[in-house]
Amino acid sequence: MTASKGSAVRPNPTVRLLGLLESLTRPILLLLVTAVDRILTPIQRRVGIDRMGYFFVLPNLIIFGIFVLFPMLLNFYYAMTGGTKLFPADRPFVGLGNFETLFDCEDFLSPNSCQEDLFWRGVFNTIQYVILQVSGIVLFSLATALVLNRRIRARGFFRSVFFYPVLLSPVVVALIWKWVLQYEGVLNAIVEIFGGESKRWLLDTNWAMFWVVFVSVWALMGFYTLILLAGLQSIPPELYEASSIDGANTWQDFRFVTLPLLMPTMFVVLVLSLIRAVQMFDHIFVLTGGGPGTRTQLMVQYIYTTGFSNQIQLFGLSAAASMVLGVSLLILTLLQLRLGNQSSLS
């Protein structure tokens, strides 16, 4: 509109600014392209164009090698050593001794019969926590995403509300809930208003696990809801129109249209939430410290305590426990990937 009025009209400031930036950066970009070209062309001539892909991923591989692969290998070595010295060269090689210590049990179902009873308590607590937390995350995130995908009033507001806890630091989340759940906290005040009796929620061994699961589901579900919401919005509306013409009701829409098409996204949610659940430490550490006793102490806390918080730091045992955790996670993820591939093929 403005352009049609001829040269008397000045272009708007944003366009002018972009033009200025372009004229300023063009020589720099040209210089960069020339420099990169001078470096890459001889390399490409030498290694051939087919192998240039390796060259491009090399920087990432180097970072991966230094910060992931090397520590993993170092951890593997530590797991095979004993003593209390920090440097690998000073540590005596003990082979599988640390793993033997971890798996020295009369009855694997009774942690008290194991030499490292705290490790096995951590294993059982982790299994329980993962099952409850991942189920909770998937179910509540799905339900929330389905609701938030509908045309409801103040949809944008509710989407923000559910996502908000994700932005909070885990320590803040845990402290907020600690205040809510303490004996003189908000929850007991509400319970008393309704004629109930105050309870030490986190001290009760049965309730403690419920609350750590509840708090982490509350804190994390917003993130997974967002992923599922994106998945829901990618389902073509024509499919719902077609199912509606076929006379499908809401449940049938969900069962035969939404769920199958959302499955790949749900699978992503399942894998991500599972990995996060197995690695859980921060929320629980602040909320219950792993207590009461060791009721909510997960494997990661055992690894941390054994390796770092005791006066005599058993790095070898801690590294061995972390390897057990890592391998378990790997097996679970591979299993999930396999199941995911099968379901997408079918």
Partner 1 sequence: MRRVLALLFILALLASALPSMTQDMVELRIRWYNDGNEGEVLRDLLDRFEADNPDISVEIDTVPYSAILENLPLDLAAGEGPDMARVTDLGGLAQYYLDMTPYLSDPAYWEENFGPFLNWKRLGDDDSSIPGFMTQLTITGPFINRTLFEQAGVDVPSDMSDSVSWEEWAAASVAVAEALEIPYPMAMDRSGHRFAGPAISMGAMYFDDMGHPTVMDEGFRNMAELFVNWHLDGTMHPEMWPLSEGYAGANEEFANAELVFYMSGSWQVGQFSEQIGDAFDWQTVPNPCGPGGCTGMPGGAALVGIGATEHPEEVTRVMEYLASQEVLGEFAARTLFIPAHAGLSAAGVDFDTDLQLAKDSLGVFVGQVGTLEQTAFDLQAYAYNRNVFNATRDRLTQAMVGELTLDEAIARIQDDVDTALAEVSG
Q: Which residues bind partner 1 (CB under 8 A)?
A: 82-87, 92, 112, 117, 121, 183, 200, 202-203, 205, 285, 288-295, 301, 305, 308-314
Strands (E) located in 227-280: none
Could you give the 3-state DSSP secondary structure of residue 154? coil
Residue type, 250: T
Q: What is the CA radius of gyration of the chain?
A: 28
Q: Does residue 180 contact residue 186 with C-beta atoms inside 8 Å?
A: yes
Nearer to partner 1, 97 or 326 (CB): 97
Give the number of other Cβ atoms within 10 Å of residue 320's Cβ.
30
Beta-carbon contacts of 130 under 8 Å, excluding residues fewer than 6 positions away, are 274, 277, 278
CB of 220 to partner 1, least distance (A): 22
Residue type, 95: G
CB of 61 to partner 1, least distance (A): 27
Nearer to partner 1, 226 or 314 (CB): 314
Nearer to partner 1, 51 or 200 (CB): 200
CB of 240 to partner 1, least distance (A): 50
CB of 300 to partner 1, least distance (A): 12
CB of 165 to partner 1, least distance (A): 23
Nearer to partner 1, 291 or 326 (CB): 291
Nearer to partner 1, 145 or 209 (CB): 209
Q: Is the preceding omega at residue 292 within 30 degrees of 0, hence cis?
A: yes
Cα separation, 177 vs 182, in Å, equals: 8
Question: Angle, nearest 10°, between helix axes 52-64 and 13-47?
Answer: 100
Nearer to partner 1, 81 or 273 (CB): 81
CB of 216 to partner 1, least distance (A): 17
> What does the DSSP 8-state code read for residue 115?
T
